[in-house]
A and B are shown apart, each in its own frame.
Chain A
Amino acid sequence: MNEKNSSYWYKRWTLIPLIFVLVLIGVFAKRLVDIDNNKPASYIPTVLLNTLIPEINLDPLPNRGKGLNSEHLRKKLILLNFWGSWCGACLIEHELLMEIKRKNIIPIHGIAWRDKPNESINWLKKYGDPYSLVGQDPESKAAIAFGVTGAPETFMINENGIIIYKHTGPITEKVWLNDFLPLIREYK
């Protein structure tokens, strides 16, 4: 083999790693697209959406009615709101919830989540009570059953006890007008 010839092949040799890597990256890319199509775990929507509510049975807050169980949630279209006196963001939506109650748009049931019952009741006395029924959930039993991730979180449940909408975070005016109100109108 003469000098020129060998250097010709030598130059081509150095391309091999590049080709190998490009093929490999192609395989990875295809694989990623495949995973994407299979809806991987990171795209979990609300598991409970369009399913029946879980069974719960919660004690009442001190001196405040009956408590809350799944039966109460299956009577008509209602909102179920997880909140706590410790939760600052809950105050953001509080004014709006009070207005919903005043205008009698839709009944709201509340679950006092991870809270001391006395503090929950004091909070309601101080800021106003937008709820029809309230259950206490100090040990997160209901919160876990509903898959609650943070307070406030609000579920819309129809007369068959099916969760038709869920919102995590405070219900702002915008959320209310864009997401909740159209659904409620559609239902009525």
Chain B
Amino acid sequence: MIPEIGFFTLSLSLGVALIQSVMPLIGLKKNNLTLMSLADNAAIMQVLLLSISFATLIHSFISSDFSVINVYQNSHTTKPLIYKITGVWGNHEGSLLLWVLILAIFGGAVVLFGNNLSKRIKAAALSVQGMIGLGFIAFIIFTSNPFERLNPVPLDGKGLNPLLQDPGLAIHPPMLYLGYVGFSMAFSFAIAALIEGKVDSLWARWVRPWTLAAWTFLTVGIGLGSWWAYYELGWGGWWYWDPVENASFIPWLTGTALIHSLVVLEKRDSLKSWTILLAIVTFSLSLLGTFLVRSGVLTSVHAFASDPSRGIFILILLLITVGGSLTLYAIKAPKLDQSGVFSPISRESSLLINNIFLATSASTVLIGTLYPLVAESIGIGKISVGPPYFNMVFIPIFIPLIILMGIGPYLPWRKAKIINIYLNLKVVVLLTIISFVLFFSFSNYKLNDLAGCAGITLSAWVIFSISNDFINKIKLFKNPIQDCLNRARNLRRSAYGMMFAHIGVGLLIIGISGSSAWKQELIVSLKPGEEIRIAGNRIIFKEINFLNASNYQSLMGEFYLVEKQVLMKPERRIYNQPEQLTTEAAIHSNLWSDIYLVIGDGPNNEGAYTVRAFFEPFIPFLWYGVLIMGTGGILSLTDRSVKVTPKRSRNNKAVPKAGSI
């Protein structure tokens, strides 16, 4: 009975979505406020209906109701409660339901926080949100119904893929969806702006917090996915340029570009059609990600069970959404008035260059991801594009971007004087050069040392530059300390947000370059009692244990890390529901570097086990970087100017402040 309630409310939400998409448009045409405000009620209704629907699905999972196919296929009675719940979105149908629920929640947020919006823009945006909802709810109902019943009721479920029974992965998909779907706000407002033919700084002010929120979620979501891949897959790597990873990374790149171009639009009333295009493209790429994961056109370790009929449905959705919005763009964008030419050295120019680099890097990742597909379709043959391609094209594009990141904060709007930039940055440049010499002199003077040191120096550049900017702003060392503190307190949250986000990128680069340059790997056949050495660490293989847990059997090695005096216990687990082998790496971190152990095949006829040991330097910096970047996003969101009450905007529009992203 309860699943039927879920399906019923889901079906109702389809009707509500139809009303939400059509009525406001008629209202806009006739300039009828009543019809326009119908969108508000519909959007709130949508949240209620889909919440009920989602709650019933959770209920079916918790109560192990195997008469529901989805529960049968993805759950099991012996599974811990938390994974029964996370199993709801560990599968295609349930995750789509979560997707539309989040979409509805964002729509509801427009109603809740959008009192100061122009009625027409709000109605148009909610209508677009309604259309997206309509498409996806129809997709769920007609191809992926999570409430479908199973006639012979099985005794027990098939269980959830044990790789997914993991805290990191439990919150990874919701985070990612909050990011993906969050970009629908920028998209809907972009379409609304095109319909109304009006893009101004007020519009940018309204779109920016939503984009920032989406970006923050996506950043954390990608970070969690990477963290999970690192500790769960047992390959010692954290990023594989896998199509599905790329599918989330490409919208992240364009979303990052969008955050920056929105600032230009807000402050300088410029880059209008470009910003609109970015908003459309970013959400379209999020949809593309959804399509790639679920259609089976790309093969990937992350892909959901693929089904071409679903693929065709999403493709049609993609055609309507992306094709439709870009057609509208092609017609309307030329009519958006462009104002002003940029002076070549100014904040807006640097942000434009930032956008060009980010868009280029997004394109290269997109090309690399889709090239095998295109090649196969036009008959060139099967081609695989691997990490070498991505590293080769991506790094050269990103290096100038990072260098620019250190200069940008010192550029004022409109026109900058080169001499001022030089005066501000000379200390930073000097410190950066010193740190490179210092790093390199402590290394072994090999090629990888050079690359690693160069990468870390790049981060040093960013971190020094941001710190210097901060020192300048609060006039540290110039004014009395009390005054500095006051200045620090009065500095806008959005300025802190930018500093945090950029320092986060710096930390990330330390992690990336350090771990790629100095990682060590050892694969040995080892008997209990023997020992290995990696990066100066003595590791003794003490013994092997066999354990039985409720839903898996485990072979657990015990290793003793002599210098650190810790015991490490890598495992190889055989889950019973469904039957699957997983490796549980043992990781010992000292906050700078990790020792990473994996126990593999064995015992062989001599009683030895395959043991893989990794020395992973600077890996923790990846997670610090993501955390700090996410914190930056949150800080910016709590800025008082972001408090969606842009009524004062006319007054303070002309006061562009440095570093206000």
* Same assembly: yes
Interface positions of A (Cβ within 8 A of B): 7, 10-11, 14-15, 17-18, 21-22, 24-25, 27-32, 34-36, 40-42, 84, 86-90, 114, 149-153, 168-170
Give the residues in chain B near A149, CB-CB below 8 Å. 154
CA distance A171 to B153 in the complex (A): 14
Determine whether the beta carbon of A153 is less than 8 Å from that of B152: yes
CA distance A17 to B281 in the complex (A): 9
Determine whether the beta carbon of A21 is less than 8 Å from that of B308: no
Determine whether the beta carbon of B154 is less than 8 Å from that of A25: no
Q: Say yes or no: is B397 at the interface (Cβ < 8 Å to chain A).
A: no
Determine whether the beta carbon of B152 is less than 8 Å from that of A25: no
Give the residues in chain B near A25, CB-CB below 8 Å. 315, 318-319, 322-323
Determine whether the beta carbon of B329 is less than 8 Å from that of A31: no
Give the residues in chain A near B281, CB-CB below 8 Å. 17
Determine whether the beta carbon of B306 is less than 8 Å from that of A87: no
Determine whether the beta carbon of B374 is less than 8 Å from that of A21: no
B25-33, B289-297, B433-441: which one contacts chain A?
B289-297
Determine whether the beta carbon of B376 is less than 8 Å from that of A42: no
Determine whether the beta carbon of B330 is less than 8 Å from that of A31: no
- Kindly identify, within residues 243 to 295 of chain B, every residue whose CB is under 8 Å from any CB belonging to chain A: 273, 277, 280-281, 284, 291, 295
CA distance A28 to B305 in the complex (A): 18
Q: Say yes or no: is B327 at the interface (Cβ < 8 Å to chain A).
A: yes
Sampled A-B contacts (12; CB under 8 Å): A14-B333, A17-B277, A18-B326, A21-B326, A28-B311, A28-B318, A32-B295, A32-B312, A35-B306, A89-B151, A89-B153, A150-B152
Additional pairs, 18, CB under 8 Å, beyond known A32-B312, A168-B152: A7-B334, A17-B277, A17-B280, A17-B281, A25-B323, A27-B377, A28-B291, A32-B295, A32-B308, A32-B315, A34-B376, A35-B296, A35-B306, A35-B308, A42-B308, A149-B154, A150-B152, A169-B152
Give the residues in chain B near A90, CB-CB below 8 Å. 152
CA distance A15 to B326 in the complex (A): 8
Determine whether the beta carbon of A14 is less than 8 Å from that of B334: yes
The 8 Å CB contact of B306, one of A24, A28, A40, A168, is A40
Give the residues in chain B near A169, CB-CB below 8 Å. 151-152
Q: Count residues of chain B with CB under 8 A from any CB of chain A.
A: 39
Give the residues in chain B near A40, CB-CB below 8 Å. 296, 306-308
Give the residues in chain B near A15, CB-CB below 8 Å. 330
- By secondary structure, the B interface counts as helix
Determine whether the beta carbon of A21 is less than 8 Å from that of B323: yes
Q: Say yes or no: is B45 at the interface (Cβ < 8 Å to chain A).
A: no
Q: Say yes or no: is B370 at the interface (Cβ < 8 Å to chain A).
A: yes
CA distance A24 to B307 in the complex (A): 20
The 8 Å CB contact of A114, one of B155, B277, B308, is B155
Q: Say yes or no: is B567 at the interface (Cβ < 8 Å to chain A).
A: no
Determine whether the beta carbon of B326 is less than 8 Å from that of A17: yes
Q: Say yes or no: is B373 at the interface (Cβ < 8 Å to chain A).
A: yes
A87-B153 in contact given A18-B323, A18-B330, A25-B318 (Cβ < 8 Å): yes
Q: Say yes or no: is B150 at the interface (Cβ < 8 Å to chain A).
A: yes
Determine whether the beta carbon of A42 is less than 8 Å from that of B307: yes
Give the residues in chain A near B273, CB-CB below 8 Å. 14
Give the residues in chain A near B374, CB-CB below 8 Å. 27
CA distance A90 to B151 in the complex (A): 10
Give the residues in chain B near A11, CB-CB below 8 Å. 334
CA distance A170 to B152 in the complex (A): 7
Give the residues in chain B near A34, CB-CB below 8 Å. 376-377
Determine whether the beta carbon of A88 is less than 8 Å from that of B326: no
Determine whether the beta carbon of B306 is less than 8 Å from that of A41: yes
A87-B329 in contact given A7-B334, A40-B296 (Cβ < 8 Å): no
Determine whether the beta carbon of A152 is less than 8 Å from that of B152: yes
CA distance A168 to B151 in the complex (A): 9
Closest CB-CB distance, B167 to chain A, in whole Å? 30
Give the residues in chain B near A24, CB-CB below 8 Å. 370
1/0 per residue, CB under 8 A from A, across B119-154: the answer is 000000000000000000000000000000011111
Determine whether the beta carbon of A42 is less than 8 Å from that of B153: no
Closest CB-CB distance, B376 to chain A, in whole Å? 7
Determine whether the beta carbon of B297 is less than 8 Å from that of A28: yes
Closest CB-CB distance, A139 to chain B, in whole Å? 12
Give the residues in chain B near A170, CB-CB below 8 Å. 151-152
The 8 Å CB contact of B311, one of A10, A32, A88, A150, is A32
Closest CB-CB distance, B480 to chain A, in whole Å? 55
Give the residues in chain B near A21, CB-CB below 8 Å. 284, 322-323, 326
- Kindly identify, within residues 159 to 218 of chain B, every residue whose CB is under 8 Å from any CB belonging to chain A: none
CA distance A7 to B338 in the complex (A): 11
For A115, give the chain B residue with the smallest CB separation.
B155
A14-B308 in contact given A150-B150, A168-B152 (Cβ < 8 Å): no
Closest CB-CB distance, A85 to chain B, in whole Å? 11
Give the residues in chain A near B334, CB-CB below 8 Å. 7, 10-11, 14
Determine whether the beta carbon of B153 is less than 8 Å from that of A28: no
CA distance A7 to B556 in the complex (A): 70
The 8 Å CB contact of A89, one of B152, B305, B315, B326, is B152
Give the residues in chain A near B308, CB-CB below 8 Å. 32, 35-36, 40, 42
Give the residues in chain A near B315, CB-CB below 8 Å. 25, 28-29, 32
CA distance A30 to B377 in the complex (A): 7
The 8 Å CB contact of A86, one of B155, B291, B297, is B155
For A13, give the chain B residue with the smallest CB separation.
B334
